[in-house]
Structure 1
Amino acid sequence: MKVERIQYKCTLTPLTPIQIGNGNQIYPYDYVVKNGTYYRINLSEIIEKFPQNIKFKFIKLLENNNMIEIRSFIFENYKEEYGYIYKAPVEREFENKYLEKIKGANKKNDENSFIIEEFIGNVEAKYIPGSTIKGAIRSAFLFNEFDKKRDKYDFKKNLKYDKELNKKIEVTAKPFVLVDRYGKTLMGRNSKNEANKIEAKMLELTKLEPKFDPFKNFIVTDTQVTKENTVIKEISRLMPLGVNNKLSFGAEVLKSEYSDNEDVKLNFDIILKLIPSSLLKKDSLDKGIIKEDVYFEISDIAYALNKKAKKVLEKDLEFFKKNTKYREYEKISKELLEKLEKLEEKNEDRVEYKEALIRFGRGSGFNNTTFNLVNTNEEVYTRVVAGDCPVGWALITFEEV
């Protein structure tokens, strides 16, 4: 039986900094920041290019194993002509802190600010995995099916003392869908079975069975690779007013429209394989897995992404307005919400819904990666930002081939 395929050419435009890590942390002896440029280096190759007298001094430092002196020595003696694996521009705030503390940090946590989270890709180029985009789309689709049915769950809470907040906070032990950077679905501890039941319900299945999951026939390719579109920024976690922010780390992030005034375009494909219902039912007849036919078109995906994005943005705005020192982040979130509302006005006919806001990547938020916004208690105490922007927002456009 023939399976119909519909292919869409898609374009992803980063609106705010996006960070998709590969799990690799780059330490300050594997990079140098000079004159607004980040140089990712191979230390052993650089040593070989040092003049003999400098090389001798450096070997002595290595014997003493003093990492602060080692990184300071590398910074002072490195020259661009010695070579590098790749380079990228650096946000001024990150470079200033780097220069201030390169010869030694005052606090233990300051050392962490020197760690840079590498963006997924290879030594020459970066990309966004299709599985990451697909995971965000699946999460939005399930969330909106959940919300459409107006189900509300009052999940059990545990109280945990938070030193930074100086109070007990509620830690929700609830089922949720959390998507990692590779698009893999992660489950909350001791909640896998209940989470599976909820996902099955949203997909109109009697039980969660990957073979009959409609997203199995939903293919998302990796984006094109990009060589010149990353920048180094400081990623921080914002706390409520009156609580000291926890500095995080540096990261390779995609340049973006709101943060860098850059119009970056990344292309990828979405392929929908439309499986005839008779084929599915024949295979599942004896198993009783499929309750109803479940099909979605690209307009359904765009609609789900925008509906979820609106709820996430509204909650972010509440946080930033409540904490008045975060005006710059409130401004960006408001602009994103206004962009989303214009998309909704432009696409009143859902059939023509071909643009959507999507959020993904590191720091995109608990509300964004879980079912938290359909929980009866949905307060989240922190937000993650890079430079002057909330992280993880992009615009996707879809065009049928």
Structure 2
Amino acid sequence: MSQEIKNYKVYKMSLTTLSPVFIGSGEELNKSMYVYNDKEIMIIDEKKLIKELLLRKGLYESFLNECSSGDLNLTNFLEKNLNGYKDIDIYKYKITSYSDIKTGGKFNNINTFIKSSNGKPYIPGSSIKGAIRTAIIANEIYHNKEKYINFFENKNYPKNFNGKFAKTPIDNLKELENIALKNIFSKYKSIFNKNDKIEVLPNILFKFLYVSDSNEVNLDNLFIGKQHDFSTKGNKLNELPIFMELIKPETKFNFSISIDKSIIDYFDIKNIIKNLRNYFRQYFYCVEEINLLFFKNNVEIQYKPFCQLEGLTSNALIGGHNGYLTKNILYSICCELEKENNTVVGMANKEEIINLIKYHLNTKFKKHKHLEDSIISPRTLKLTKYNETLFNIGICNIKVEEELC
């Protein structure tokens, strides 16, 4: 860098979940690590459990024998051997499940939500920053479609639905993202030295944007949800044996964003919020057009994509298990939004772009056979049940609370 940058704009921010949110810790709870009690999952504290078992003659040895078999079902073991186990202090925390954790009589593993060293859930700054990065790239592409459509044309992609398809797939659209990043970076390259490494410069812009981890929230803001997939092929709603700890809707987190003043004209906080909102609309209104009619026509299914809270608009897609297309820029090339109410009014170069998306999805997910799709489609909408209602996963509001300096 030409000099050390010391001046920042710092903002106090909030993130409010408008639907269930999942950010994985990379760990799972198996049937030997929790107790299932009707709609309550009780996560065991191993040290407290062992201490309790040692108080009862022969029980610890029986426990070790079942552990060594590799098939310990803790719920069954405690039901047989420890009277009143539900009320004994041997648990780290208890959490409500809105779905039966058993499939065919077998207990499923549970993917856990990321937690701090204090054992409480929080939102990592990297998850928020990743959403901002995707939104910035997507809006660059959305507002300059002519540059990026040419990119596809130069790749020799298919020309019609039933024509021949190119042999070389695009690798997860990373090349397109890199081109967009270079175009964004070109506005700011004058602040860098010639000695800086050119190959990392497009991404280096995001080093000027600092996003803190959020505060912790109490464990009672978690619940256990099961993944439900709605497929546009055949209009089917399927339940999968995938269980997660999710943050409840209407949970508020606080965090901070610090922006280097040298690029404040592009990473201005108002632009960040605008980019997030626009990217969410690019994705969601295309999904709504394709999917939501199914739920409107099936009144027995209680469904809403997200909660409507006064003063909070849905503007961000956070975390995992919410669908492949919530993390990339495909729809940014496709959709056209009506300026007044931000609804989708059409698709730019629809037929050509449908082919591009179909081809991309088919090369990335070969077993899914997307080539027969007749519409632009996420193919699968990821949902979970909370309080008897199906919600989309990962929809949030990010908001500026206060400029600190």
Conserved in 2, the CA contact under 8 Å of 1:237 and 1:246?
yes
Name the residue aligned to 2:76.
Answer: 72
Conserved in 2, the CA contact under 8 Å of 1:37 and 1:88?
yes
Conserved in 2, the CA contact under 8 Å of 1:237 and 1:245?
yes
Gaps of 5+ in 1: 106-110, 159-169, 176-187, 258-263, 277-292, 344-354
Change (3 A) 1:75 1:308: farther
> Matches of residues 321-332 of structure 1 in structure 2 within 5 Å?
321-324=292-295, 332=304
Using the aligned pairs only, state the percent identity.
22
Conserved in 1, the CA contact under 8 Å of 2:34 and 2:41?
yes
Higher mean Cα deviation, 39-48 or 227-236?
39-48
Q: What is the Cα deviation at residue 230 of structure 1?
A: 1.4
Pairing 1:6–2:9 present = yes
Q: What is the Cα deviation at residue 196 of structure 1?
A: 2.1
Q: What is the Cα deviation at residue 7 of structure 1?
A: 0.8
Name the residue aligned to 1:318.
Answer: 289
Change (3 A) 1:242 1:305: closer
Conserved in 1, the CA contact under 8 Å of 2:384 and 2:393?
yes
Distance 2:303 2:167 in 1: 29
Out of 247, 269, 279, the position equivalent to 1:308 is 279
Change (3 A) 1:156 1:18: farther
Pairing 1:255–2:262 present = no
Q: What is the CA deviation profile of residues 141-193 of structure 1, one whole-angstrom value per residue up to 9, with x for unaligned ones? A: 110111001245447779xxxxxxxxxxx999435xxxxxxxxxxxx3xx655
Pairing 1:267–2:263 present = no
Name the residue aligned to 2:345.
Answer: none
Pairing 1:366–2:324 present = yes
Distance 1:310 1:62 in 2: 50
Name the residue aligned to 1:393.
Answer: 395
Distance 2:200 2:38 in 1: 54
Out of 377, 380, 396, the position equivalent to 2:378 is 380
Q: What is the Cα deviation at residue 22 of structure 1?
A: 1.3
Distance 1:311 1:372 in 2: 9
Q: What is the CA deviation profile of residues 262-290 of structure 1, one whole-angstrom value per residue up to 9, with x for unaligned ones? A: xx2211001111127xxxxxxxxxxxxxx
Q: What is the CA deviation profile of residues 306-353 of structure 1, one whole-angstrom value per residue up to 9, with x for unaligned ones? A: 1111122212212323534666889523866xx79x87xxxxxxxxxx
Pairing 1:89–2:89 present = no
Conserved in 1, the CA contact under 8 Å of 2:122 and 2:216?
yes
Q: What is the CA deviation profile of residues 78-109 of structure 1, one whole-angstrom value per residue up to 9, with x for unaligned ones? A: 43424122332322xx2x343x75xx33xxxx
Q: What is the CA deviation profile of residues 285-307 of structure 1, one whole-angstrom value per residue up to 9, with x for unaligned ones? A: xxxxxxxx962311101111111
> Matches of residues 2-401 of structure 1 in structure 2 within 5 Å?
3-43=6-46, 45-50=48-53, 51-67=56-72, 71-74=75-78, 77=82, 78-91=85-98, 94=99, 96-98=100-102, 104-105=105-106, 114-122=108-116, 124-151=119-146, 152-153=148-149, 154=152, 173-174=169-170, 188=172, 192-193=174-175, 195-204=177-186, 209-210=200-201, 213-228=204-219, 229-240=221-232, 241=234, 243=236, 245-257=238-250, 264-275=251-262, 295-324=266-295, 332-333=304-305, 357-373=315-331, 374=333, 376-377=353-354, 378-387=376-385, 388-398=390-400, 399-401=402-404
Name the residue aligned to 1:161.
Answer: none
Change (3 A) 1:117 1:212: closer
Conserved in 1, the CA contact under 8 Å of 2:227 and 2:384?
yes
Q: What is the Cα deviation at residue 47 of structure 1?
A: 3.9
Aligned residues: CA RMSD: 3.5
Name the residue aligned to 1:163.
Answer: none
Change (3 A) 1:310 1:83: same
Conserved in 2, the CA contact under 8 Å of 1:41 and 1:84?
yes
In structure 2, give the amino acid aligned to 1:119: F
Distance 2:168 2:114 in 1: 31
Distance 1:270 1:303 in 2: 15
Give secondary structure in 1 for the equivalent of 2:88: helix
Distance 1:223 1:310 in 2: 25
Distance 1:203 1:72 in 2: 59
Higher mean Cα deviation, 223-232 or 37-46?
37-46
Change (3 A) 1:171 1:360: farther
Distance 1:389 1:13 in 2: 15
Conserved in 1, the CA contact under 8 Å of 2:19 and 2:307?
no
Q: What is the Cα deviation at residue 5 of structure 1?
A: 1.3
Change (3 A) 1:64 1:274: closer
Gaps of 5+ in 2: 159-165, 190-197, 335-352, 355-375
Q: What is the CA deviation profile of residues 114-160 of structure 1, one whole-angstrom value per residue up to 9, with x for unaligned ones? A: 111111114521111111101101100110111001245447779xx
The count of residues paired between Structure 1 and Structure 2 equals 327
Distance 2:156 2:328 in 1: 16
